[in-house]
């Protein structure tokens, strides 16, 4: 594994390995000294072209717990606001010899562009690109679900898959990179994925996704899911009228107190409620649901650090990339050689 | 005249059979008790993978001598993966679990247990890992096999067998708990040589 760009091309073996490593990393978070020397002297750059609190902090905590040096690069106050291109930014980071770049970008495919280009040698981790994917969020959701599933089954988490688990994802699937990454990853791990949302907020071509689609939330809950994942209503990406009013959305698609009570009435004692955050309380999820014992929202944040430590460790340790002599000899070129005029791509 | 196996070109010889291994472990268990003047404050930490079952066996032997000892309460596992100095040179290793006994390791006498002592780099990593988990009063080292070729100033306190080897050879320890197939115990130490 050289980059982590998408969960679609992640095999079950690599996904399970990452979750198993994350399981060991989570033990470090409970120690008095929450630090491991594994990535000492390596540099991780957080390159965020879009606002984020928990993802950036989570990556920063993960890198620091592995003793890596962290450079935070927020677009506001950087040369990007003066019009610097992704390429020039990447080459600047390369000149500073970054070992890993964690990138969040409003354009789908920006991390893949960075990884496929020869602008930079570093491992690229996608921390959310446009409406495409957010693989580490899906991995931490899978990690949280797996711990829950293993606890119910009375087995150790390590090595367990999600086989037999039914996960319902509700809301704005159209704009949600979290939903996309989760659909691919959870099905790879053996779970059955159900989607529910208003037709205007479901993407074109959803029929080809490996999941069942519902246009009524209560009908979907009647399928007795083991977990309900509420998606954030992404008002900042909504430049069209997707539904008549937020009150109507909340009534039809929100996880409100009535639906919370419904889970108890249906005897679904082991069903958990998830949310990737940040929440719009009272809109897609009620305060009672978000703060109920069923809610895994804080566990998800905690597990995010462990999963991101595992991703950084697996990408940055080992000899399969950095020290590998290359056939084409590109490694032999000093990095700070000027690129000849008129030569944009090699 | 050497007789390499025709296909693999690797010669194997058994240097410790099951009974020899058991006797060596019994002796080490007594040495540990002797050096510690009893079982007080004793903790055995095995280094994955084969150090952990060896630590369990030593703890059972210690418990057989001293009734006050519960073998499960003095045994633990110490993973050193994240502390290795060769993480960038070798293919990525998956970390194993670290499990400490409920008493913790602060002010205890910790005996690190591993199967083969070679360069000493694993033990260097283990000492760093220990420092992040607590502050033992004394740290000792018990190994089943010492094959020499040290690269660091590290020495074992208790050795099952000293094996003079060439660095071309590989020393393999097989233990029933890990390598046993269908419940058949496979305790042995083998030297393999690529002829």
For β-strands B170-174 and B188-194, DSSP reports them as antiparallel
HEC string of chain A? CCCECCCCCCCHHHHHHHHHHHHHHHHHCCCCCCCCCCCCCCEEEEEECCCCCHHHHHHHHHHHHCCCEEEEEECCCCHHHHCCCHHHHHHHHHHCCCCEEEEEECCCCHHHHHHHCCCCCCEEEEEEECCCECHHHHHHHHHHHHHHHHHHHCCCCCCCCCCCCEEEEECCCCCCHHHHHHHHHHHHCCCEEEEECCHHHCCCCHHHCCCEEECCHHHHHCCCCCEEEECCCCHHHCCCCCCCCHHHHHHHHCECHHHHHHHHHCCCCCCEEECCCCCCECCCECHHHHCCCCECHHHHHHHHHHHHHHHHHHHHCCCCCCCCCCCCCHHHCCCCCCCCCCCCCC
Of A25, A37, A323, the CB nearest to B89: A323
Reported pTM: 0.89
The band of B185, judged by pLDDT with boundaries at 50, 70 and 90, is low
Q: Tell whether A110 is within 8 A of chain B (Cβ).
A: no
- One pLDDT digit (tens) per residue for chain A, 346 residues: 799 999 999 999 999 999 999 999 999 988 889 999 999 999 999 999 988 888 999 999 999 999 999 999 877 767 776 777 889 889 888 988 999 999 999 999 999 999 999 999 999 999 999 999 999 999 999 999 999 999 999 999 998 999 999 999 999 999 999 999 999 999 999 999 999 999 999 999 999 999 999 999 999 999 999 999 999 998 777 766 788 888 899 999 999 999 999 999 999 999 999 999 899 999 999 999 999 999 999 999 999 999 999 999 999 987 654 333 333 333 333 333 333 343 333 3
Subunit contact A319:B89, Cβ cutoff 8 A:
yes
Condensed to tens digits (0 to 9), the pLDDT of residues B45-104 reads 999 999 999 999 999 999 999 999 999 999 999 999 999 999 888 888 899 999 999 999
Please report the number of interchain residue pairs, chain A to chain B, with beta-carbon separation below 8 angstroms: 53
The mean per-residue pLDDT over the stretch B1-7 comes to 50
Residue pair A135/A7 in contact by the 8 Å Cβ criterion:
yes
- What is the predicted pLDDT for the residue at A327? 33
Condensed to tens digits (0 to 9), the pLDDT of residues B15-46 reads 999 999 999 999 999 999 999 999 999 999 99
Q: In B, which residues are within 8 Å of A31 by CB distance?
A: 132-133
C-alpha Rg value of chain A to the nearest Å: 21
Residue A166 Cα, gap to closest chain B Cα (Å)? 29
- What is the predicted pLDDT for the residue at A286? 96
Task: Nearest chain A residue to B97 by CA: give it.
Answer: A24
Residue B178 Cα, gap to closest chain A Cα (Å)? 17
- What is the predicted pLDDT for the residue at A331? 32
- What is the predicted pLDDT for the residue at A243? 86
């Amino acid at each position: 594994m050289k980059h982590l760009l998408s969960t679609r091309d992640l095999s079950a073996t690599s996904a399970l390995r990452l979750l198993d490593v994350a399981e060991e990393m989570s033990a470090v978070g409970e120690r008095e000294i929450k630090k491991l020397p594994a990535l000492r002297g390596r540099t991780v750059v957080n390159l965020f072209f879009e606002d984020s609190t928990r993802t950036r902090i989570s990556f920063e905590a993960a890198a620091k717990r592995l003793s890596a040096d962290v450079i935070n690069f927020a677009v506001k106050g950087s040369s990007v606001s003066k019009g610097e291109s992704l390429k020039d930014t990447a080459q600047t980071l390369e000149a500073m010899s970054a070992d890993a770049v964690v990138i969040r970008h409003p354009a789908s495919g920006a991390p893949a562009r960075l990884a496929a280009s020869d602008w930079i040698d570093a491992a690229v981790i996608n921390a959310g690109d446009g409406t495409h994917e957010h693989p580490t969020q899906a991995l931490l959701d899978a990690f949280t679900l797996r711990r829950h599933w293993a606890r119910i089954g009375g087995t150790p988490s390590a090595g367990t898959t999600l086989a037999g688990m039914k996960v319902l994802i509700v809301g704005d699937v159209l704009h949600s990179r979290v939903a996309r990454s989760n659909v691919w990853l959870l099905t790879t791990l053996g779970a059955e994925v159900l989607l529910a949302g208003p037709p205007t907020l479901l993407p074109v071509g959803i029929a080809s996704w490996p999941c069942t689609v519902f246009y009524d939330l209560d009908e979907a809950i009647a399928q007795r899911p083991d977990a309900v994942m509420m998606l954030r209503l992404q008002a900042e990406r909504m430049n069209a009228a997707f539904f008549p009013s937020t009150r109507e959305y909340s009534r039809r698609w929100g996880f409100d107190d009535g639906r919370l009570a419904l889970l108890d009435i249906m005897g679904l004692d082991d069903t958990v409620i998830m949310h990737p955050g940040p929440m719009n309380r009272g809109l897609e999820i009620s305060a009672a649901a978000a703060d109920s014992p069923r809610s895994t929202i804080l566990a998800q944040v905690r597990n995010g650090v462990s999963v991101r430590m595992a991703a950084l460790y697996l990408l940055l340790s080992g000899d399969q990339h950095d020290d590998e002599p290359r056939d084409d000899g590109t490694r032999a070129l000093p990095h700070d050689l000027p690129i000849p005029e008129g030569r944009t791509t090699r | 005249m050497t007789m390499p196996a025709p296909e693999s070109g690797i010669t194997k010889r058994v240097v410790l059979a099951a009974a020899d291994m058991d006797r060596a472990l019994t002796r080490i268990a007594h040495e540990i008790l002797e050096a510690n003047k009893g079982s007080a404050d004793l903790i055995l930490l095995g280094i994955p993978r084969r150090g952990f079952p060896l630590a369990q066996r030593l703890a059972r032997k210690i418990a057989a001598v001293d009734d006050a000892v519960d073998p499960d309460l003095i045994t633990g596992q110490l993973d050193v993966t994240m502390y290795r100095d060769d993480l960038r040179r070798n293919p990525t290793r998956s970390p194993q679990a670290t499990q400490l006994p409920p008493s913790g390791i602060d002010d205890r006498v910790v005996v690190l247990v591993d199967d083969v002592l070679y360069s000493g780099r694993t033990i260097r990593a283990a000492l760093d890992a220990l420092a992040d988990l607590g502050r033992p009063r004394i740290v000792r080292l018990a190994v089943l096999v010492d094959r020499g070729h040290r690269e660091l100033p590290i020495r074992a306190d208790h050795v099952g067998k000293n094996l003079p080897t060439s660095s071309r050879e590989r020393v393999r320890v097989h233990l029933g708990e890990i390598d046993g197939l269908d419940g058949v115990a496979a305790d042995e130490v083998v030297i393999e040589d690529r002829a």
